[in-house]
Amino acid sequence: MHVSSSTSTPGRARSGVPLLALAGVLWGTGGLLGQALAGATGLSAVAVAGYRLAGGGLLLCALGLLVRRALPRSRAAWWRVAVIGVLAALFQCGYFAAVATTSVSLATLVTIGSSPIAVLVVERVARLRPIGPRAVLGVGAAVAGLVLLVGPSGELGPGLLAAAAAGCAFALMTVLQARPVADLDASATVGPAFVVGGALVLPVAALLPGGLAFAPTPGALILLAAFAVAPTALAYTAYFAGLRTAPAGVGAVLALLEPVTAAVLAALLLGDRIGITGWIGAAVLCGAVLVTATDRTSYRTAPVRTA
């Protein structure tokens, strides 16, 4: 047995970081858009999430047809699409179940905070890449900053398990997409996968108070389109594209730019107060993102043992 050297280079891997950061920022617009859409239509949060997945997925599928992009052909590609679709549905349902039984802040903290921890554990156990002190520091600082920024409130209970399940679903999506399937690019994954996810979430939403019906006013349709485009189609395509070169652990930490962006936008547009503790948390979280993005060890794949 001998150990072969890694073929990846830090420079090439870091080329995915801007896309991962862009995804985190775009996700940060989702809270405001989703809240505005729910207010304009009277839809439940689960219905809004279902329309988000279905709308973003259909948009990317239509774009693929427009540019005459070939559909995935291999069994591995279709399996990846199906698994990502199921995980996206679990992520949405788990998160909103946690919101309904705890609070938005606690659900956000557990869902988003558990994801980079889960990814780090998977990468360590599976030996997907070396886990150095800076990688552990980056994740720890990111979660600590998230705690200070979000400020947990609400009672622990079944909602905690739902939030943790949602975080694990997102972590699995991240780990999977860091190991791309041949001939399956980011948009070709997100489009059909989110159609699958929407098809799984919308029937659940139909059983909830309010159902799926809403008045298709111009304002509601514009909000729905914006929600499907920016924090869904564009954000997930950028995230999955970034994961083709950057490790899953880096992606999971950079995804935490979402709550920072959401908090700043809420302060600027809605007049919400962040407070000194929140600003300290935002600074710590951004510092953790910088530490993770510049850690050279994070961009080396683990040596592969061959016969």
pLDDT in tens, the chain (307 residues): 333 333 445 555 567 899 999 999 999 999 899 989 999 999 999 999 999 999 999 999 999 999 888 777 889 999 999 999 999 999 999 998 888 888 778 888 899 999 999 999 998 888 887 788 888 999 999 999 999 998 766 666 778 899 999 999 999 999 999 998 988 999 999 999 999 999 999 999 999 988 999 999 999 999 999 999 999 999 999 999 999 989 999 999 999 999 999 999 999 998 888 899 999 999 999 999 999 988 877 666 544 333 3
DSSP 8-state secondary structure symbol assigned to residue 1: -
pTM exceeds 0.85:
yes
Count CB-CB contacts under 10 A for residue 160. Answer: 18
**E strand map for 49-104:** none
Q: What is the spatial distance between Cα 174 and Cα 269, in angstroms, rounded to a whole number?
A: 31
H helix or E strand, kind and range, residue 180: none
Backbone angles phi and psi of 126, in degrees to 5 = -85, -5
Q: What is the spatial distance between Cα 232 and Cα 29, in angstroms, rounded to a whole number?
A: 10
The pLDDT value given to residue 182: 84
The pLDDT value given to residue 278: 93
The pLDDT value given to residue 12: 58
Question: How deeply is 203 buried, as exposed, middle or buried, from its count of CB atoms within 10 A (0-12, 13-18, 19+)?
Answer: exposed
Q: What is the spatial distance between Cα 298 and Cα 289, in angstroms, rounded to a whole number?
A: 12
DSSP for 207-265 reads TSTT-S-----HHHHHHHHHHHIIIIIIHHHHHHHHTTTS-HHHHHHHTTHHHHHHHHH
H helix or E strand, kind and range, residue 274: none
Q: Which amino acid is at 252?
A: A
β-sheet bridge partners, residue 304? 4
DSSP for 115-167 reads HHHHHHHHHHHHTSS---HHHHHHHHHHHHHHHHHH---S--SHHHHHHHHHH
